[in-house]
């Protein structure tokens, strides 16, 4: 059978969604930047209490929107809830469509879904290389913008490098763009950054067409529930909201997110554990003579050299999963998620044995 599709779909790379590891116990999972700790007990309790209500459609998202808005000193109309950040990336592209402007500027390497989603929705994805410090170079991004550009994607801290651009550079960048260009800044890992120069992105939403993406998948530990949110100026958020499916966020995700927001003490413990684990990994890599890229996230980018892929495979044979970055054009690098203290120690001990 021959089934024709739009050329933009044919450009999207196809990788069957096969599992990379078994479902049996014993794996050390340090490849997907997940939070290794269980979510807040309040999350678990709230979900258990709601189990007998799953025959109903999800309740309104308005309560969660109000809680998020209160956290940032905004109105509920500034917030849209999504099925993970991915839905909001797609919704932003749909909302931004306009005749004559069909280019999306994306940093490279960065989150792989930006160019995929842009291509699916008929945009030409223009990739812009990172700067020398493995950070997004906003000057380069600005140079790539032309009169056909409609959307610019930024990831801060950037995945897979963990690096950031600062507030001063971001403010200058926003002010330099044409008013017709929407900036979608993905801050999935923002909670992990301790840098006082991290951009105050949300403070700019009423001055520029900027959409700030946040998620409950990482610091809040709700990756399996797929829930995120976007913040922006009211009218811009209303356009994004219109492109969403009804009930795209399930009942348990909404309940869990509300409970997670209520337990900032648990979040503080997660961030402290990540801070210590990140320092342990970086110190261990440096002691082994490996080049470490300074990170503001819950993962570490480390240069192994030409044997990086082989190293990842040898760790895989020991049921330790990290991410080799050949698919990102960084064949000499691996990305390692900060795990629990025990997972971090197991990984480093295995790494030492392989290197020696």
Closest CA to 257 of 43, 60, 50: 43
Residue 18 has pLDDT above 60, yes or no: no
Residue 87 has pLDDT above 60, yes or no: yes
Q: Which residue segments constitute the domains of the chain, with CATH numbers given?
A: 7-37+265-355 (3.90.1150.10), 41-263 (3.40.640.10)
Percent of the chain with pLDDT over 90: 91
Q: How confident is the model at residue 21 (pLDDT cuts 50, 70, 90)?
A: low
Helix (H) or strand (E) holding 3: none
CB-based burial label for 23 (10 Å; 0-12, 13-18, 19+): exposed
Average pLDDT over residues 291-319: 97
pLDDT of residue 10: 76
- The per-residue pLDDT of the chain, averaged, comes to 95
Report pTM: 0.94
pLDDT in tens, 109-129: 999 999 999 999 999 999 999
Which DSSP category does 208 fall into? Answer: S
Sheet holding 103-108, edge to edge: 79-82, 228-231, 210-215, 182-186, 149-155, 103-108, 124-129
pLDDT in tens, 54-84: 999 998 899 999 999 999 999 999 999 999 9
pLDDT of residue 24: 54
CB 232 within 8 A of CB 200: no
């Amino acid at each position: 059978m021959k089934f024709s599709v739009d050329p933009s779909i044919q450009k999207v790379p196809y990788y069957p969604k096969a599992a990379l590891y078994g479902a049996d116990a014993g794996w050390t999972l340090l490849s997907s930047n997940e939070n290794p700790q269980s979510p807040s007990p309040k999350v678990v309790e709230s979900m258990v209490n709601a189990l007998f209500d799953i025959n109903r459609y999800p309740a309104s998202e308005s309560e969660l929107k109000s809680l998020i808005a209160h956290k940032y000193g905004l109105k509920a109309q500034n917030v849209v809830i999504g099925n993970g950040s991915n839905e909001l990336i797609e919704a932003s592209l749909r909302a931004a469509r306009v005749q004559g402007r069909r280019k999306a500027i994306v940093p490279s390497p960065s989150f792989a879904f930006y160019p995929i989603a842009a291509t699916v929705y008929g945009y030409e994805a223009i990739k812009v290389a990172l700067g020398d410090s493995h950070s997004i170079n906003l000057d380069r991004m600005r140079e790539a913008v032309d009169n056909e550009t409609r959307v610019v994607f930024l990831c801060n801290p950037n995945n897979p490098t963990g690096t950031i651009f600062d507030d001063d550079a971001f403010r200058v960048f926003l002010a330099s763009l044409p008013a017709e260009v929407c900036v979608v800044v993905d801050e999935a890992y923002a909670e992990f950054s301790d840098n006082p120069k991290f951009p105050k992105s949300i403070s700019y939403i009423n001055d520029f067409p900027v959409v700030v993406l946040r998620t409950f998948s990482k610091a809040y530990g709700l990756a399996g529930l797929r829930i995120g949110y976007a913040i922006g100026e009211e009218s811009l958020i209303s356009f994004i909201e219109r492109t969403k499916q009804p009930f795209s966020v399930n009942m348990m995700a909404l309940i869990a997110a509300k409970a997670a927001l209520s337990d900032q003490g648990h979040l503080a413990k997660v961030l402290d554990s990540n801070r210590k684990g990140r320092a342990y990994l970086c110190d261990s890599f440096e002691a082994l003579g490996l080049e470490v890229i300074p990170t503001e996230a819950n993962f570490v980018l480390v240069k192994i050299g030409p044997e990086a892929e082989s190293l990842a495979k040898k760790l895989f044979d020991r049921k330790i999963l990290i991410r080799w970055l050949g698919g990102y054009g960084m064949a000499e690098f691996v990305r390692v998620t900060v795990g629990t203290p025990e997972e971090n120690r197991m990984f480093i001990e295995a790494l030492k044995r392989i290197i020696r």
